Amino acid sequence: MNALTSSSLGYPRIGAGREWKKALESFWAGKIGEEELTDRLAEVRLGNLRIQREKGIELIAVNDFSGYDHVLDTSAMFGIVPERFQYEGGEVSPGTYYAMARGEEGEAACEMTKWFNTNYHYIVPELQGAKPKLVENKPLKAYREAKETLGIQGKPVLLGLFTFLKLSKGYAETETDAWIDRLLPLYGQVLRELEKEGAEWVQVDEPVLSTNVSAEDMNRIEAIYKTLTEAAPGLKIMLQTYFESVEHYDRVVKLPVSGIGLDFVHGGEKTLKLLKSGGFPEGKILGAGIVDGRNIWRSDLKEKLDTIRDILAVVPGERVIVQTSCSLLHVPVSAVHEDKLDPVLRDALAFADEKLEEIVLLSKAAVSQTAETAEALQRNEKALAALRSSEARGNKAVQAAALQLQKVPAARGEGFGERRALQREKWKLPFLPTTTIGSFPQTAEVRQARSKWRKAEWTDEQYKGFIRSEIDKWIKLQEELDLDVLVHGEFERTDMVEFFGEKLDGFAFTRNGWVQSYGSRCVKPPVIYGDVAFTQPMTVEETVYAQSLTTRPVKGMLTGPVTILNWSFVRDDLSRDVVAYQISLALEKEVQALEEAGIEMIQIDEPAVREGLPLKKDEHGAYLDWAVNAFRSTTANVRATTQIHTHMCYCEFHDMIGSIRDMDADVISIETSRSHGELIESFEQHTYEKGIGLGVYDIHSPRVPSVEEMVSMIERALRVLDPQLFWINPDCGLKTRGSEETVAALRNMIAAAKQCRETMAVSQA
């Protein structure tokens, strides 16, 4: 028997040297034109396809590439453009496409939020007032390009109709069927044109099937795929699910399509059990997601082969495709240049390219082992054993303390009411106090200084002097703007997670481990490979220096344990809650160090709590319990007068307001501006009796909002929240913004706050 078929579900867009990012940002800056942008993106896109072919992948995904975001691409493909962008029909221009993503002068960007439970952000489609029409068949273009340029018979990728609809906004639940009726002919047209062109397979992504889909929605999905199969009977549809086991397994596998892709990694144990008990339909292809598409560790190949053999006991090999659990969008491109890491760690890593090699190896070894595959399996086993026995995983004291936190919930000694009274007396802040979320612009000068220091072109003292000069400048600016609570600006930090990981035991850092977060924004997640432990104070020096420059309070700025966890590549030999508790133990010591140094207003950011929420609702409670406890563990021992802030962003919070309250922060700031104030609806339905700041402008857009816009946002919030507990702040940190726009936006924000103070003073007089 020949090897099993190998397939990719998607490949990182960014390029081995982030060429994609550089091209986009050059275009936005006006340094290159549209034609050069098109050429540079094509070069990256075709290079990605060549790599996959060279690795031996047989079914290569095409149309997984994007100029910004694949959900936005789907909106543009169907001409779904909000009226405010003055779109007049036809193919959506790059100018309009990027205006939807980033905003433009006078027009707010479309909302951006998390792609399921990942750290990738997608642009939310706005259906209100839209009249969808197929204006550009993007999968067809990608298929043609791969075939004509490289001779690759690609597998076009298309975001499924039902997932697209569920990710959209601007329609009522009662309009669901009407919207399916509008979109279904367009999807049918896409598939017919692919069929006519000669495409054999099309991958239709429906990750929503791994969430809690209702029986009524399953009826809709069955009708959708019956219609689409009939629309293009000669085209094979691989209905692809990922991120968890599917709901309604029996109905999903019987959908009228040629193949079903299932995740045998995330929720894999349940998926395998369902496969064994429920079987798999005759004549249908199973796309078996065997290799983890979301983490960076080598697969345990012997374990994966056991899983494949279990699958082959149910489904014959000629009907099995070996693939990753999801698109490789979520991992870095290649581990080949990570030669600065400890060899034990380096040998245990697998990025996108290495995962493709694993797929090809597994597809061969599952059928028959050769000397080559046997040697590869032996190397794999040796590499994993070396990591397991690493000294970095032997901190018994940390292990014991983390296990203790699992058993005993943490809590502050005084309730919020008592703390609030003491803090009001201590801080004497004005009504509607203003602050920022933490970071200020990381200018080219800041990045150059850090580069010189890292290359040893600058001494520690030179670099420290530069950082202090930036703190000087921005403390003075904040005072001139008349902000009430200041920050030091975080100029010494490359990233809100990496900075802390570099100062803690148990973390490692890659040279080129970049992944896309949103748009051109790429992050380099730390690698948690050992036991996490505090070694020395991490933030005290800069914060204390900033506080010495002003009489106004300066917040200490930390990243919380759950965000550090969720924004890192995490060791897979421990449960995630145990790793979170290890991180919280280290951060608790940093909080104590700040407090002892006189910093008694401390912000511990947790923007990633919501994104870690499991896709299955019955698993939410357990996750939120340990996530909340990990956060509380960092603050349980501070004084009542020490004011604890936290921050969350770009998430839907209506289903976890109770957990936010349980975190017991004195003040929480939450994004609302990019969702156009919709989060306020959650507080119209649920009371919240602690300090809160709802972000009043979007920092991810370069536009400077007017005073009137922010006043409107503040006034709406104050209709449902206690004005005595309300804070005014931007949505998020200002690291990615330019200095001029930052100052202009903050000036308007402070003017809006003062206007609201005056209005309320008059109304209460």
- Phi/psi region, residue 610 (left: phi>0; alpha: psi -120 to 50; beta: rest), is alpha
Alpha-carbon span 644 to 423, nearest angstrom: 10
Query: Do 249 and 113 share a structural domain?
Result: yes
Instruction: Decide if pLDDT at 674 tops 70.
Output: no
How confident is the model at residue 213, as a pLDDT?
95
Closest CA to 289 of 98, 673, 10: 10
pLDDT (0 to 100) of residue 108: 86
Neighbours of 397 (CB within 10 A): 10
DSSP 248: S
Beta-ladder partners of 755: none
Q: Per-residue pLDDT averaged across 651-680, rounded?
A: 75
Is 179 annotated in some ligand binding site? no
CB count in 10 Å sphere of residue 105: 8
What is the chain's Cα-based Rg? Answer: 26
Both tokens assigned to 365: 């070894």
DSSP structural state of residue 393: G
pLDDT in tens, 179-216: 999 999 999 999 999 999 999 999 999 999 999 999 99
Is 466 in the same domain as 590? Answer: yes
The arithmetic mean of pLDDT across residues 218-232, rounded, is 98
Listed residue (74, 123, 70) closest to 99, CA to CA: 123
C-alpha–C-alpha distance, residues 428 and 459, integer Å? 41
20 is in an annotated binding site: yes
User: Which of 345, 370, 388 marks a domain boundary?
Assistant: 388
Q: What is the DSSP string of 531-574?
A: EEEE-S-SSHHHHHHHHHT-SS-B-EEEE-HHHHHHTSEE-SSS
Say whether 393 counts as a known binding-site residue.
no
Contact 200, 153 (CB under 8 A): yes
Q: Are residues 439 and 363 in the same domain?
A: no
**Residue 700 among the catalytic residues:** yes
Residue 14 assigned ligand-binding role: no
- The first and second tokens of residue 556, run together, are 């200490």
The model carries a pTM of 0.89
The number of domains in the chain is: 2
Domain-located, residue 357: yes
pLDDT band at residue 326 using 50, 70 and 90 as cut-offs: very high
Integer CA distances (angstroms), 475 to 27, 380, 543, 764, in order: 33, 53, 11, 34
In the three-class reduction of DSSP (H, G, I as helix; E, B as strand; rest coil), residue 647 is classed as: strand
- On whether the CB atoms of residues 486 and 550 are closer than 8 A, the answer is yes
Place of tokens 């698993």: 619
Q: How confident is the model at residue 9 (pLDDT cuts 50, 70, 90)?
A: very high
Does 522 show up as a binding residue in the annotation?
yes
In DSSP terms, which residues pair with 612 in a beta bridge?
none
Asked if the structure places residue 413 within a domain, the reply is no
Q: Kindly report, residue by residue over 621-635, the tens digit of the pLDDT.
A: 999 999 999 999 999
Taking Cα atoms as reference points, which of 375, 371, 244, 358 lies closest to residue 303? 358
Taking the CA atoms of residue 559, residue 561, residue 562 and residue 566 in that order, the dihedral angle to the nearest 10 degrees is 70
pLDDT at position 652 is 59
Higher-scoring residue by pLDDT: 652, 208:
208
Q: In 3-state terms, what secondary structure has residue 303? A: helix
- What average pLDDT does the segment 136-157 reach? 98
Q: Are residues 348 and 423 part of one domain?
A: no
The answer on whether 605 is annotated among ligand-binding residues is yes
Is 397 among the domain residues? no
Shared domain for 183 and 327, answered yes or no, is yes
Active-site annotation holder among 121, 266, 645, 700: 700
Q: Check whether 18 is labelled as a binding-site residue.
A: yes
> In what helix (H) or strand (E) does residue 159 lie, and over which residues does it extend?
strand 155-159
| CA-angle at 457, arms to 455 and 461, nearest 5° | 105
Residues 299 and 171 placed together within one structural domain of the fold: yes
The per-residue pLDDT for 737 is 86
One-letter amino acid of 140: L
Residue 625 burial (10 A CB sphere; 0-12, 13-18, 19+): middle
Ligand-binding annotation for 19, yes or no, is: yes
Q: Residue 20: how many CB atoms within 10 A of its CB?
A: 24
240 within domain boundaries: yes
Residue 518 lies in a domain: yes
User: Facing residues of 270 across strands?
Assistant: none
690 is in an annotated binding site: no
Q: 257 with 348, same domain?
A: yes
Asked if residue 467 and residue 376 are part of one domain, the reply reads no
524 among the known binding-site residues? no
**337 contacts 304 by C-beta, under 8 angstroms:** no
- Please write the tens of the pLDDT for every residue from 591-600: 999 999 999 9
Q: Is 437 annotated as a binding residue?
A: yes
What mean pLDDT comes out for the span 470-491?
Answer: 96
Res 673: pLDDT: 60
In a domain, 410, yes or no: no
Check whether residue 432 and residue 520 sit in a common domain.
Answer: yes
Domain contains 412: no
Q: Which residues contact 680 (CB under 8 A, 6 or more apart)?
A: 672, 694, 716, 717, 720
Question: How many residues does the structure list for the chain?
Answer: 765
Note the Cα 441 to chain centre separation in Å.
21
Cα distance between residue 688 and residue 648, in whole Å? 15
d(CA 405, CA 483): 38
110 annotated ligand-binding residue: no
Under the banding of pLDDT at 50, 70 and 90, the label for residue 272 is very high
Burial class (CB in 10 A: 0-12, 13-18, 19+), 244: buried
The overall average pLDDT reported for the chain is 94
What's the average model confidence in pLDDT over 313-320? 97
CA 650 to centroid of chain Cα atoms? 10
Q: What angle do CA 31, 35, 40 make, to 5 degrees?
A: 75
Residue 398 lies in a domain: no
**Do 466 and 334 share a structural domain?**
no
Three-state DSSP at 286 gives strand
Tokens linked to 196: 């006519």
Please check if 662 is assigned to a binding site.
Answer: yes
Are residue 351 and residue 463 in the same domain, yes or no? no
Tokens of 250: 């029996």
pLDDT, one tens digit per residue, over 459-469 is: 999 999 999 99
Mark which of 343, 368, 388 sits at the end of a domain: 388
Q: Is 577 annotated as a binding residue?
A: no
Q: Are residues 373 and 472 in the same domain?
A: no
415: annotated binding-site residue? Answer: no
User: Quick one: average pLDDT of 529-552?
Assistant: 97
Q: Is pLDDT at 540 greater than 70 in this prediction?
A: yes
**pLDDT higher at 722 or 480:** 480
Q: State residue 738's pLDDT score.
A: 87
* 74-88, 301-315, 557-571, 716-730: least confidently modelled range: 716-730
What is the span of the domain harbouring residue 499? 419-764
* CATH code for the domain of 522: 3.20.20.210
Tell me: pLDDT of 651 over 60.
no
- Rounded-to-integer distance, Cα 580 and Cα 569, Å: 13
- Tell me the Ramachandran region of residue 243: left when phi exceeds 0, alpha when psi lies from -120 to 50, beta otherwise: left
Buried b or exposed e, range 210-231, using 16+ CB within 10 angstroms: bbebeeebbebbbebbebbbeb
Residue 30 DSSP class: T
Cβ–Cβ under 8 Å, residues 140 and 156: yes
- Report the 3 state secondary structure along 55-93: HCCCECEECCCCCCCHHHHHHHHCCCCCHHHCCCCCCCC
Query: Which residues have C-beta within 8 Å of that of residue 249, sequence separation ≥ 6?
Result: 271, 274, 278
Q: What is the DSSP letter of 169?
A: B
Q: Phi/psi of residue 395, each to 5°?
A: -85, 95
Phi, psi of 616 (to 5 degrees): -95, 125
Confidence of residue 610 (pLDDT cuts 50, 70, 90): confident
Asked whether residue 206 is marked as a ligand-binding residue, the answer is: no
Q: Is pLDDT at 369 greater than 90 in this prediction?
A: no
Please indicate if the annotation marks 326 as binding a ligand.
no
